Chains A and B, each alone.
Chain A
Amino acid sequence: MATDLAPPATKPASPGDRPGRVPIRAALLRYRWLYLMLVPGLVYFALFKYLPMYGLTIAFQDFVPFLGYSGSPWVGFKHFEDLFTGPDFGRLLFNTLFLALLTAVFVFPAPIVVALLLNELRVAVLKRFVQSLIYIPHFLSWTIVFSLTYLLFAVDFGVVAGWIHGLTGGPRVDYMARPEWFRPLVILQLLWKTSGWGTIIYLAALAGVDRNLYEAARMDGAGRWRQFWHVTLPAIRPTIVVMAILTSGNLLDQSFEQIWLLTNSLNRSVADVFDTFVYYVGVQQGGYSYATAVGLFKGVAGVILIFGSNWLAKRLGQRGLF
């Protein structure tokens, strides 16, 4: 036994050294410092990532906290049946997909347009100045974005609310509470917070365009518009495709914080999406098992979407995520 443990004297541990198959104990001894450094991280992943995954089993139980994971009665797919046959599912799915659709139509193209406009800006100083300003909202929390929205749209003293009231002459509208204004506010917030920062990836692609292409286009008599159409746009098309695919992989992921902050008792019918519903039912109302079932459904659907979009990316000749 003792001989097994001794590290091979002829082969000191070195990066070039690739042991094909080292006995576990020998490896543990030889690389004890490296393994030791892994321990805190492994504990973190075990506790806060994998233990909750084990906790997903309560989706198949009627979980009672004091009976615990092992003591609570098993109920099979009861919660999933409740979900799919009950009134919640259709509403959650519709709200989620509708927001995803609005995001795809209004929010996704915004950074592309802004990046293209910035790219046409001739004065470099001005370009940098505009960039510095429109990147700011990315760093502000959703809470701040919510508060700004409230301060601008509050029914009694909101500045924008007041302007609209003055322009239309209609009654004062409580934008923060009216269900029909929930989705426009979500989209407005997203536009304000993300369209500046989102330009970065497109500007990087635009910066990589070979200047000679423009030269060649000019030689062929292409004006500014045709250069844009035949050189600039094709140059960022792959980036647009990749971003579109990545976005579609996260179709079900609205920002929990954004949605939750804008949700109130008056607009819940249109505001509830999977994540906020899970929090409301699970954490606030204590419906642990049902909420976990909803979360599990969303998680599995999310994995399918990510792999699906990844597959699509590869089919289209792009590099996928994995």
Chain B
Amino acid sequence: MRTTAKPSAVKHYSSPGSRVFDTLNVIVLGGLALITVLPLLYVLAGSFATEGEIRARPFFLWPENFVTSTYAFIFANDTLLRAMITTVVVTAVGTVLQVTLTFTMAYPLAKRYLPGRTLVLNLVIFTLVFGGGIVPTYLVVRDLGLLDSYWALILPLAINPFYLIIVKSFFQELPQALEEAARIDGCNEMGVFLKIVLPLSKPIIATFSLFYAVGIWNDYMSPLLYINDNQKWTLQVLVRQLTSPDAANAIGALDSAAFFPAQGLKFAVVVIATLPILCFYPFLQKHFAKGVLIGSVKE
């Protein structure tokens, strides 16, 4: 979390050593910040450069010839377009489903008086330390007929047990008086949940929507395990296929156009897969930082 602008722990020193340290500190931290963003800026610049420039110039932050032909190629290519649309749709549908399932299950688990609650909670917590692992889960997904189905990218990850427990704790903190009043007015528990609890939970719904959305958007393992059909690739798979030493096969599948930006494509596809994350970045930073600190507070 951004620490709020409290007065610095260090009062203003003017000893030479202290000033040297301050200068060095700014240089070191500035250097770290540069190392973080320079690769991203280079990739952005490269995505607007010509094939020749990428090969010829060692490093640049602004292309000599600013061209958009790589993007034009991408948006005219069926496989690439399909991957983009697939990823957006799977992320949207998946996030809605994950948030719905997580919040619906967390609510009853927050009711201390519910018989059987402890048993269910323990069953959930157990999955945090132990699981069936890759192969048995793969076999379940296969037996359910989900291989090469978009649902395989969503359903096996439908509830994150850790998020579930955090949402449950949040529900326990909500003031009970409102819920009580609604119950006296004849609302059943489902009604209380929908009409009272969910409207009170808007900020935390937003937070977990972001958590889940980033999770699906960035997921590479699920498509690797469950999707073979290259017409069903997600962006992450595409990025992997295009930017690797053994990219020939993947590119071969696309290489039907007369103009083919083999180098630029590698840069542009990284930009496209990164852009939504960076667009949401201010929100992500705020909400995720909160999440880290919630996570560090034990049950």
Contact = CB atoms under 8 A, between A and B. Distances in A.
Contact of B298 (A15, A256, A319): A319
B239 A134 contact: no
Contacts of A118: 29
A254 interface: no
Interface stretch (A80-88, A100-108, A179-187, A289-297): A289-297
Given A52-B140, A136-B40, A291-B134, A33 B190 contact: yes
B113 A15 contact: yes
Given A52-B133, A140-B218, A157-B55, A147 B270 contact: yes
A251 to B, nearest CB: 14
Interface in A113-135: 114, 117-122, 124, 126-135
A41 B104 contact: yes
B274 A144 contact: yes
Interface residues of B, number: 116
B236 to A, nearest CB: 4
Nearest to A141: B218
B139 A40 contact: no
B115 A27 contact: yes
B111, B161, B289 — most chain A CB neighbours (10 Å): B289
A140 B277 contact: yes
Contact of A147 (B37, B59, B243): B243
Given A19-B115, A257-B220, A53 B130 contact: yes
Contacts of A240: none
A41 B159 contact: yes
Contact of B239 (A15, A36, A147, A303): A147
Contact of B1 (A54, A200, A303): A200
Interface in B208-241: 214, 217-221, 224-225, 236-237, 239-240
Given A157-B55, A159-B42, A141 B220 contact: yes
Contacts of B193: 37
Contacts of A163: 58
B77 interface: no
B25 interface: yes
Q: Which residue, B9, B245, B285, has most C-beta atoms of chain A within 10 A?
A: B9
A49 to B, nearest CB: 5
Contacts of B144: 47
Interface in A142-176: 142-144, 146-148, 150-152, 154-155, 157, 159, 162-163, 174, 176
Contacts of B245: 150, 154-155, 174, 176-177, 264
Contacts of B179: 15
A49 B131 contact: yes
A311 interface: no
B156 interface: yes
B101 interface: yes
B216 to A, nearest CB: 11
A321 B10 CA distance: 34
Given A38-B120, A52-B137, A283-B134, A136 B36 contact: yes
Contact of A17 (B26, B29, B113, B129): B113
B30 A45 contact: no
Interface string B245-276: 11000000000000000010011011001100
B72 interface: no
B195 interface: no
Interface SS of A by simple majority: helix
B43 A117 contact: no
Contact of B10 (A38, A129, A224): A224
A96 interface: no
B198 to A, nearest CB: 12
Interface stretch (B15-23, B62-70, B78-86, B199-207): B15-23
Q: Which of B5, B36, B281 has the most CB of A within 10 A?
A: B36
A272 to B, nearest CB: 14
Nearest to A310: B129
A141 B236 contact: yes
B147 to A, nearest CB: 11
A299 to B, nearest CB: 6
A38 B183 contact: no
Nearest to B284: A139
A306 B128 CA distance: 11
B88 interface: no
A247 interface: no
A201 B292 contact: yes
Contacts of A114: 29, 32
Nearest to B102: A41
Interface string B15-57: 1001001100110111011011101101100100000001100
Given A52-B136, A151-B46, A257 B221 contact: yes
A120 B25 contact: yes
Contacts of A229: none
B107 interface: yes
Contact of A204 (B3, B5, B25, B288): B3
Closest 5 A/B residue pairs (Cβ): A52-B132, A41-B105, A55-B136, A141-B218, A295-B133
Given A122-B10, A134-B32, A177-B245, 12 more contacts: A19-B115, A40-B105, A45-B124, A49-B161, A52-B132, A136-B40, A148-B39, A150-B245, A151-B46, A151-B266, A214-B9, A232-B9
5 contacts: A33-B190, A40-B105, A44-B155, A214-B10, A223-B13
